[in-house]
Structure 1
Amino acid sequence: MQFYCSKAAAEALETTQKGKVKSWLEAAPVPEAAGPWAWQVHAIKLARQNVFIVMERETRFAMVFWGIKKGDGETLLKQFYERMVNLLLCMNQDVNWLNAADADVAIEQILQRNKRYCFVAGVDRSVQTHINEVARFCEGEVHEIGSLLMDADEAAGFDEAMNDTLRSVRGGDYFYPNAVFFCSWARQYAGASDELCLELEARFQRVRHERMAMRVAKHSDSSIPVYEQIMAVLQGKGLKP
């Protein structure tokens, strides 16, 4: 895995011992660490704690890690792999694709093919724009609940919400990061075809509609058919059902 760090992230991964600065950053990317995904890392301070935002550059799939101590790259890596695996397995259940055994094999492929990692300096401005949007969501969360998310399940739920948000790269088509990242995993580590990935994206869309229907039914006027309410919501967002 290659992690490209903003200046703030690089500083958050530094420690000073006996007057010497220790950093996790390499001078240049490690070729052996190259894989299908490249991650951009940024750090902000909220409630006097470090908050790391890690986003995959191509799919814009993001994960947020709260309260990691300055210079503790080891904990960041551990939480990164655990969160990514858990989110992929949860999404797999949502779209009912791989059985448990096959999903475990596809996850193991990630770990086997990405044993090497490196942190280097480098920022893609387009990615950083989306990271800054996630940072604002984090700030809003703290403002609303008065504290950081400390529970792992709550943090994963926060990531799920962020990745179920429409994004567009450099004026291109809109997409949902969760579906695109999941399909990237399916293609790269489980041998899924392009045709199957299109079907998987359709499954994500159905799951999204079902959840929206549940929310609308819970808070809506029962005299209006749920389907019509969903269409009204989608049209209000400028989306096609």
Structure 2
Amino acid sequence: MAIIELENVKKNYQLGKTEVPALQGVSFKIEKGDFVSIVGPSGSGKSTILNLLGCIDTASSGVVKINETATSELTDMDLTRIRRQSIGFIFQTFNLLPTLNVYENIEFPLLLKNRKISRQDKKKQKEYIDHLVEEVGLTGRENHRPSELSGGQRQRVAIARALVTQPQIVLADEPTANLDSKTGEEIIDLMKRINRELQTTFIFSTHDQSIMEIADHIIRLKDGSVVENRRNNP
């Protein structure tokens, strides 16, 4: 079953009095557990697609489906719920809160999702956050703030934060762009391992050849259109 489906999606932006097309009839499907690389030059529509999949933006026309439900049919409250519960976000600039430590940054999406929870559930949450900290290799650094971490460590925090709500889908916008090649490879390996173990669907907007090489599904864009849509491991 396709977890995501785009059907003839178009997206236009208004620039002054001019309407600029960002996507021109894009169609593709993504299956549960896919490790997807969306590639193409700057301005090809990669970030626009992530914004649509993340329920941050809406299409000008066409259909965007998540779990077989068209996002255009959902209320703002429904879209907010999907963002908080079903989708995790990883950004190239990490987007960590500078005043919070590692543990608190990872915990933050849970506070947005569950403002009031029982003591028992709070204990389960702590156990899961501790598990994620260990999974991303940051045990012992829970009380460090972002300014005390390397770029690779900050991205590991961002990955754990994206996973803390146990989302079905993780959207990653150029997640290795601000990392050196060795650290970038470690981050990619970490995400691929999580993808295999949890069957979390990862969707990357990227120029990174390393991600393209291990992706099992590549969608290539040019000028807002899909010019290649192939699976590496049929």
TM-score by length of 1: 0.25
Structure number with higher relative contact order (C-alpha < 8 Å, ≥ 6 residues apart): 2
Structure with more helix by fraction:
1
TM-score by length of 2: 0.26
Point out the structure with max Rg over C-alpha: 1
